[in-house]
Structures are given as structure tokens and as C-alpha cells.
Amino acid sequence: MTKLSIFSDDTQAAVAFFAAAYESNEYFIRNYSRCRELLLVEKDPEGAAEAVMFGIRHARLLHLDDFLLPVIYIDWILPELVQELKKQGIPEAVIRDSFKDVEIWIHSFRKYHKGQVGLDRIEWVFRSLIGKVRRFGSLQFEEVTYEFPFLIFENRQSGKFQALACPDLMIDQDGYISGTNGRRVKRETETFLDFGDSALTGYMVDLESGIVKMDAPVLLNRKEWELKLAPGEKAVAVHIPEGSDLSPDSIDSSFHTAKNYYENQILVCDSWLLDPHLKHILPETSKIISFMKRFHKMPVLTGQPQILERVMGFDFTMEALEQFSCATSLQTSLKKYLLDGNEMFTTAGFMLWR
């Protein structure tokens, strides 16, 4: 067990107990070598996660503790990962904070697997381990390709923002992308976006409610509005780790510190924490409400709202709602809100970062 371990005592004990079984098997040594190459040389967390999944399947064949395997691999590679991140100029404190995400997801696995130590969010954790996702205080940041189907404009004089929907989106009767939450589509309209020489015409997003306004298209004067972000361009995404301090001072500190490491002016995010409907189940003074209000909102297509798994549990289904036993005030408020026939939404958002 390396002195640089970022694991809890329980995790360290499990790794120490089972590591020998993997170390003595030539397949796992080769599998680990491939994973190491993908992480340290190719910087490919997706490929490394796929390689580990083959190792997990092989461990299952041998009746070993299968999902402990990625934890063991992380323990083996940790010193080299730290050195590599230091070469990138990342301070040791940021490295250690970023690595905290590993134990967060190990704890989540243990919660839903009867206390077993393991890890199944492998690709996501690998993104933190190679420095793609970095934690600064309460929040994580990641350079990404912007993919939300909305063009973001800023007024050159007032600084006001507008977002216009990309063409060919199907929007339902309430302004959400058709299929969101698996909800019934009673009526849908297709978006368009027309770039003229002096103006562009399309459907605007209500940046407070996070829905596309389909009653009538809007026209933006191209001299007055600057395109700030479009799909395919580089952006910085914000992620909110479980248990983060969302107090305004902590969030301000995270943004201020992280800004020294990124060039983009606009931050993007998608989360249950951006849903405007949170104001119906949380008090106005809530830290979550304060965080939500920082962002301009846009709709995002998801099969079910993220809040269900994050607040109720990863094994939660809507069919179990009525019999669900609440343990927190947020669960109680959410349950009542949903049973009253209301909906929650995973919501995308952006904010200026200056």
C-alpha cells in the first residue's frame, strides 16, 4: 500500500488483503500494464476503463472480488499519476483534492453493494486521475467540447445573454426537448435557425425557466449580438461532487481559484442542482437555490431527472415513490411534490466567468 494512498482505512484494508491474488496472476499484470499505458501515455480514460472491464470479467471467472480490481490498479499506479500531474504544473493540494473523488465513488459502491469495497464509475474516476477533471475547493472543472444544442449570444452593449435553439430540435408542448423524462408528447414543433446577412432568426430559450419559447421566433441583430459559444467549441464544464459545500463563499472561492487554470469565459453545467423547480421544494435561503440562481438555464434531454438517483438513491424507481421511506427533509419535500403530479428536470446551464 503506497504512502500516497487517498483511500479510507476500509478501502486500504481490502486492497491489502486481496492484492496478492492479482499480483500473482500474469493476466492481471498484463491487463494492468495496458491500463497504465492508456492512462499515463495515451491519456485515454475511456480506453483504460474498457481495459479494466475486461479485467473485471476475468476476475469474475476466477471467483475473485471483481470490482475491487480497479481500486487495486489505482493503488499501484498512484505514485506515477501524482508525478505526471505535478509535471503538468498542478499543485499537490489540487491533486489530492481531485483524487478525493475516488473514495466518494467507492463509498457509493459500498452503499449499494452490502458494504463491499469496489468501484464501478471507472471512466469518470480515471478522468480525475489523469487531470482531465480537477477539483478546486467545492467544485470540479473539466475542459470539454460544448455539446448542448443552443447557441449562446451576448449583447455587445448591455452584456445581456440570449440562447437560441439549434435547428432540427423537436420541442414538446411545454418547451422541453421531446422525450425528456419519458413524458408524453401532446404537441411538438421543430426548431429552425436562419443566419441572414444582418440578423438571425430562431427560437429563444427562457434562461430563467430553462425552456424553449416556441410561441414565435425572435430576431437578433448580428451587429448587436456576439456569438460567445456554439456546439463543437471548447468550454469548461463544472461538476458538483457529492457532499460539496455549496455556500456562496465556498463557491466563489472555487471559481476564483480555478479561473487561473482555464482560458474560457463561459462555464457550462448540467445537473439536478440547476433545476428551477427546486424553488418549489427548498426554502429561498437554501444553498442549493443560491447555486442554481448563478446559472442561465437551458433544457437538456434525459430519460429521467437526475434528482431521483441523487436524492432518493441510485436504485430508485418512480414505481417505488409512494412506498418510499424518507430520511431527509429534501426527500420528504421531493416525494410530496412528485406525488402531487409535478415534475423535476435535469437542467443545463451556463454562466459568465470573468
Helix (H, G, I), strand (E, B) or coil at 351: strand
> DSSP state, 8?
-
Domains and CATH numbers, the chain: 9-136 (no CATH), 150-229 (no CATH), 237-352 (3.40.630.120)
Give per-residue pLDDT as tens, 45-72.
999 999 999 999 999 999 999 999 999 9
Whole-prediction pTM value?
0.93
Average pLDDT of the residues in 328-335:
96
Q: Are 350 and 205 in contact (CB under 8 A)?
A: no
106 CB-side CA count, 13 A: 22
Enter the C-alpha cell of residue 44: 485515454
Whether the CB-CB separation of 85 and 127 falls below 8 Å is answered with no
Nearest to 210 by CA among 255, 245, 180: 180
Q: How do residues 266-308 score in pLDDT, each as one tens digit?
A: 999 999 999 999 999 999 999 999 999 999 999 999 999 999 9
First to last CA, the chain: 43
